[in-house]
């Protein structure tokens, strides 16, 4: 713009001087300049005509720069991926098999645990060997389960019934082997190794407790101890897993499904009459496998000749100290180690007669009625849901009378019935208590046991 205005001033000055130099001449008229057009032309000439540069694409420029930088970086070789060290699968060791879940274990062993029924009662057994050739199987159970039976029937997998043939027995160690035939579905269970079992190891008991219809009952516990039973020349496993009548002959199993022992008996009370729990016993695998070859071949081991118990002529037990007698049924056991607490029991079912003598105040309680005014039966230790169902006076026509109570209770989860007779004799209360699980009282198959139980109960007779 400076350039424009300077040129315009020069042009204007030149015009003025020319007009002063020729005052006398007639001026030739000139066209009046178009100031606006002149200025516009000057402006246009002064401006530089250039092609505008395009606006740069900044984003594309940055991306290209980054890519170029990355391409310039040296290539780093990938780190090698370490190869994993292969896990070695240990060779299976007997007695240390991997344990499946409990539900899987139960499903696995059920087909091998069988119900053993005789014309005298019932129990449990386990298939331990099969013969693919003739499709037979060998069953291990307790001797006392089949003792004296004229017929043995074995139910496999809760569905198919087979006749059992007795092969061999060991009365001393309470074992028996039976043969059944024929099925391709027989499934044996392996024996474990008790030498590798520690006290505190978990175990399960599978068996037909109380002879209840349907599937076998499963209970769980631990190995409480491993003991030598010198009287029966055997090793036994003590467990707190509940073992009830009907479990006899069934397997005590590890959590890997191996047979550690054959459930045989349980102790229900101490020698002084205190109820106890968790005292179940199974004949150990160590003992079983030491005699099994002989049993399979038809061997027999009889009980050693026993010395008759004092005061037991003709099955009659007499207690001189407390002046009474009572019948001991054939085949039942008697424990009179403590004269004030005598036990008579059937090992097969656990049916039990107790004779308990308690000292009382003869002045305050001279007769039965005075004692009954203050006292009534109460639950023993371990009994739950205890009830007195009924009571009555018996022996009304006799010199010595008793009060009879009908009781119900639950012991270790099993319903029981009991009949309790109370006698007051001088300074003593004498209780004669007949106890049995409910099936002993209700099921026809246990009618012989019930007859023996009641025979012993009502045979009690105070002397003198």
Over residues 141-157, the mean pLDDT reads 90
Choosing from 170, 174, 346, 420, which is the catalytic residue?
A: 174
pLDDT for residue 397 is more than 90: no
C-alpha closest to that of 433 among 404, 411, 398, 464: 404
Q: Residue 36: its pLDDT value, please?
A: 56
Active site residue 144: yes
Q: Residue 345: its pLDDT value, please?
A: 86
Over residues 49-72, the mean pLDDT reads 47
How far apart (Å, rounded) are the C-alpha atoms in residues 76 and 423? 101
Q: Residue 307: its pLDDT value, please?
A: 38
- pLDDT tens for 178-195 read 999 999 899 999 999 999
- pLDDT tens for 301-351 read 766 543 334 334 347 888 888 989 999 988 888 888 788 889 898 877 888
**Percent over 90 (pLDDT), the chain:** 39
**CATH no. for 313-462:** 3.40.1000.10
**Residues near 142 by Cβ (< 8 Å), separated by ≥ 6?**
123, 174, 175, 176, 248, 249, 262, 264
C-alpha closest to that of 352 among 446, 450, 241: 450
Over residues 286-294, the mean pLDDT reads 92
- pLDDT tens for 160-181 read 999 999 998 988 899 999 999 9
Active site residue 174: yes
Q: Residue 42: its pLDDT value, please?
A: 52
Q: Residue 287: its pLDDT value, please?
A: 94
Choosing from 122, 144, 284, 416, which is the catalytic residue?
A: 144
Q: Residue 433: its pLDDT value, please?
A: 94
pLDDT for residue 83 is more than 90: no
| Residue pointed to by tokens 């246990």 | 446
The number of CA neighbours under 13 Å toward the Cβ of 407 is: 26
382 vs 5, which has greater pLDDT?
A: 382
CA 345 to mean position of chain CA atoms: 30
The domain limits of the chain are 113-181, 194-301, 313-462
Q: Residue 243: its pLDDT value, please?
A: 87
Domains 113-181 and 194-301 in one fold: yes
Q: Residue 399: its pLDDT value, please?
A: 66
Q: Residue 38: its pLDDT value, please?
A: 55
Q: What is 194-301's CATH topology?
A: Thrombin, subunit H (2.40.10)
How far apart (Å, rounded) are the C-alpha atoms in residues 156 and 418? 33
Distances (CA, A) of 369 to 402, 418, 423: 10, 22, 10
How far apart (Å, rounded) are the C-alpha atoms in residues 163 and 180? 6
19 vs 8, which has greater pLDDT?
A: 19
Q: What is 113-181's CATH topology?
A: Thrombin, subunit H (2.40.10)
pLDDT for residue 89 is more than 60: no
Choosing from 112, 122, 224, 248, which is the catalytic residue?
A: 248
40 vs 281, which has greater pLDDT?
A: 281
The strand pairing partners of 282, in sequence order, are: 237, 263
Q: Residue 426: its pLDDT value, please?
A: 86
Quote the mean pLDDT of the chain: 78
Q: Residue 273: its pLDDT value, please?
A: 59
């Amino acid at each position: 713009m400076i350039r424009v205005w300077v040129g315009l001033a020069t042009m204007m000055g030149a015009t003025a001087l020319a007009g002063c130099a020729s005052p006398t001449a007639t001026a030739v008229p000139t066209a009046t300049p178009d100031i606006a057009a002149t200025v516009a032309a000057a402006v246009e000439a002064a401006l530089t005509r250039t092609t505008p540069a395009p606006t740069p694409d900044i984003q594309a420029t940055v991306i290209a720069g980054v890519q170029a930088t990355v391409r310039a970086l040296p290539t780093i070789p990938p780190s090698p991926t370490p190869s994993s060290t292969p896990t070695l699968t240990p060779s299976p060791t007997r007695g240390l098999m991997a344990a499946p879940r409990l539900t899987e274990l139960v499903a696995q062993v059920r087909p091998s645990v069988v119900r053993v029924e005789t014309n005298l009662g019932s129990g449990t057994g386990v298939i331990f060997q099969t013969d693919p050739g003739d499709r037979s199987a060998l069953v291990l159970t307790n001797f006392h389960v089949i003792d004296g039976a004229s017929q043995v029937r074995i139910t496999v997998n809760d569905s198919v019934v087979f006749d059992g043939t007795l092969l061999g027995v060991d009365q001393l160690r309470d074992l028996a082997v039976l043969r059944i035939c024929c099925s391709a579905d027989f499934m044996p269970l392996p024996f474990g190794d008790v030498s590798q079992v520690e006290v505190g190891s978990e175990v399960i008991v599978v068996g037909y407790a109380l002879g209840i219809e349907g599937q076998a009952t499963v209970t769980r516990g631990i190995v409480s101890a491993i003991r030598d039973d010198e009287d029966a020349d055997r090793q036994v496993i003590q467990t707190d897993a509940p073992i009830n009548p009907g479990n006899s002959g069934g397997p005590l199993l590890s959590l890997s499904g191996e047979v550690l022992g054959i459930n045989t008996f349980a102790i229900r009370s101490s020698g002084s009459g205190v109820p106890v729990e968790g005292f179940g016993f199974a004949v150990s695998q160590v003992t079983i496998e030491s005699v099994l070859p002989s049993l399979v071949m038809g061997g027999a081991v009889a009980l050693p000749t026993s010395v008759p118990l004092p005061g037991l002529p003709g099955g009659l037990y007499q207690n001189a100290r407390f002046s009474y007698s009572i019948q001991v049924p054939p085949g039942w056991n008697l424990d009179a180690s403590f004269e004030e607490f005598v036990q008579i029991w059937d090992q097969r079912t656990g049916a039990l007669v107790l004779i308990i003598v308690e000292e009382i105040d003869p002045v305050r309680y001279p007769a039965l009625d005075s004692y009954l005014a203050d006292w009534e039966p109460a639950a023993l230790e371990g009994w739950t849901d205890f009830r007195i169902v009924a009571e009555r006076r018996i022996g009304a026509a006799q010199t010595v009378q008793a009060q009879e109570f009908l009781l119900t209770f639950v012991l270790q989860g099993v319903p029981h019935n009991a009949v309790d007779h109370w006698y007051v004799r001088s300074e003593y209360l004498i209780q004669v208590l007949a106890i049995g699980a409910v099936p002993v009282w209700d099921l026809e198959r246990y009618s012989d046991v019930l007859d023996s139980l009641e025979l012993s109960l009502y045979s009690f007779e105070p002397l003198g």
